[in-house]
Amino acid sequence: MTQIIHFTTVHPRGDTRIRVKEVSSLAEYLDGDVGLYVQDGKGSECDEAAIVEVVDTGLTLGGRGRRMVLGAWRMYRAVRTVRPRVAHFHDPELIPVGLALKLSGIKVVYDVHEDVPRQILGKHWISAWLRRPVAWAAEAFEWLAGRVFDGVVAATPTIARRFPDHKTITVQNFPILAELVAPDPVPYEQRPPHFAYVGGITGIRGSRDMVEATGRVGQSACRLQLAGGFSPATHGDELAALPGWQRVVFHGWASRPEVAAILGNVRAGLVLFHPAPNHLDAQPNKMFEYMAAGLPIIASDFPLWREIVDGAGCGLLVDPQDPAVIAAAMEWLLAHPEEAEAMGRRGREAVEREYSWAPEAEKLLTLYRRLLR
């Protein structure tokens, strides 16, 4: 019997938090006996290196409502059939599946990646007069679920505060120390005037502002190394119409070694989320990954991010919705390579000191030692 199943109908099978960190750490601890259930239509596989079985329960086509309902039902049947000792899910829309599995006698863990109520407040496709009531309803539903489930894993301390103390742990998205360090990084002073953004490419995460800012930088050789997927898919066409797009090198989804190679040949990493309610207290994985790679950061000037960036002395803070200001920060780093390299070095030291994955993994393992007793 598989002891633990992590499952998601939304996240890709290669999701950094789920597969690279949590599932791999648990598989190493248990010498296997961990499954990852997804719905992407790419088929099942066995990740022998990480001793993880990946099961594809089938891509659900159709509208959003159909995908949510039918996808949830398929996932419930797949996990219920195996009857693991612990079922660990990663999407708020799967709370009903978690409740059903709990009623069937399976221990259930809810992994909360985002501050869902605040995320809803920023959803423009929901009518303005509906957002607050929907956010309240979501918060109440999560509150109830948190009291029923056997454990809650929160991605940030802010999220953790909404759940019961005695069953909630905070497992932050800090990087694995050695993962994104390129084997042969180009010496900093020899790198081209390039900048990097790695992750989901959306307007609310500053995609237009990054492209426009890159186009404004005075050095004609300046490039934006862009890796990730567009959301929605048509967003790529919107960005391609911007004047700065001719300076973008688009990689699509990149493997972890490919990301390490990109970060090993740029001058800085960009984290320019817009001030949406759920972004203000977020701790983006990419920020800490840039720091782990020894890169200075250009980041949104949010209070929490200021504490991190100024506290480590590892970058510059800007208005994420002002391409001219972003471009000025990019030009400053290019004009002051020694200071920029020192920022990157201090960021790496901060990760080694307090922002690495190993202590977070230990918190996750402590939860599982209790659940598997």
Q: What is the pLDDT of residues 148-176, one digit of tens each?
A: 999 999 999 999 999 999 999 999 999 99
pLDDT digits (tens, 9 = 90+) for 262-306: 999 999 999 999 998 778 888 888 999 999 999 999 999 999 999
Q: How far apart are alpha carbons 203 and 320 in whole angstroms?
A: 11
Kindly state whether residue 160 falls inside one of the protein's structural domains: yes
Other C-beta atoms lying within 10 Å of the C-beta of residue 288: 24
Q: What is residue 210's predicted lDDT score, i.e. its pLDDT?
A: 98
Claim to verify: residue 362 and residue 330 sit in the same structural domain: no
Helix-strand-coil split of the chain, %, nearest 5: 50, 15, 35
pLDDT the model gives residue 50: 61
Within a domain: 308 = yes
Could you tell me if residue 200 is inside a domain? Answer: yes
If asked whether residues 23 and 71 sit together in one domain, one would say: yes
| Residue 11 is assigned to a structural domain of this protein | yes
The confidence band for 126, taking pLDDT boundaries of 50, 70 and 90, is: low
Question: In whole angstroms, what is the distance from residue 243 CA to residue 59 CA?
Answer: 37
Instruction: Give the tokens for residue 234.
Output: 């048509």
Max intra-chain CA distance, the chain: 63
State how far the alpha carbon of 285 is from the alpha carbons of 27, 119, 168, 173, in Å.
22, 17, 20, 5
Is residue 293 domain-shared with residue 151, that is, in the same domain?
Answer: no
- State which residues form the domain around 263: 188-354
Could you tell me the CATH number of the domain that includes residue 54?
3.40.50.2000
- For 179-337, where are the E strands, in sequence order? 194-198, 223-227, 248-252, 268-271, 297-300, 315-318
Pair 134, 240 in one domain: no
Residue 179 located in a structural domain:
no
| 319 in any annotated domain | yes
**231 and 289 housed in the same domain:** yes
Query: How many Å apart are CA 264 and CA 295, to the nearest integer?
Result: 9
Residue 164 included in any domain:
yes
Residues 236 and 325 occupy one common structural domain = yes
More confident residue, 231 or 26: 26
The pLDDT value given to residue 31: 82
Work out the mean pLDDT of the chain and round it to a whole number. Answer: 91
* Arithmetic mean of pLDDT, 213-221: 96
In the chain, the amino acid numbered 168 is T
CA angle 82, 87, 89 (to 5 degrees): 125
Domain for residue 183, yes or no?
A: no
Backbone angles phi, psi at 53, to 5 degrees: -90, 125
Residues 232 and 326 placed together within one structural domain of the fold: yes
Residue 279, pLDDT score: 86
Q: Are residues 84 and 232 in the same domain?
A: no
CB environment 71-85: b (16+ within 10 A), e (fewer):
bbebbbebbeeeebe
Top pLDDT among 144 and 79 is at: 79
Over residues 69-74, the mean pLDDT reads 91
Residue matched to tokens 């180009």: 186
Residues 338 and 243 in one domain: yes
Tokens of 249: 């090198």
Regarding whether 240 and 307 lie in a shared domain, the answer is: yes
- pLDDT, residue 138, reads 75
User: Are 346 and 361 in a shared domain?
Assistant: no
Mean local confidence (pLDDT), 220-235: 94
Q: 239 burial class (0-12, 13-18, 19+ CB within 10 angstroms)? A: buried
The pLDDT of residue 122 = 62
Same domain, 111 and 202: no
pLDDT tens sequence across 80-124 = 999 999 999 999 999 999 999 999 999 999 999 987 667 766 666
Question: Which whole-number Å values give the CA distances from 279 to 121, 126, 171, 301, 313, in the listed order?
Answer: 11, 18, 17, 11, 21
pLDDT of amino acid 227: 96
- What total of structural domains would you count in the chain? 2
Whether residue 360 contacts residue 174, with contact meaning beta carbons closer than 8 Å, is answered with yes
If one compares 280 and 76, the residue with the highest pLDDT of the two is 76
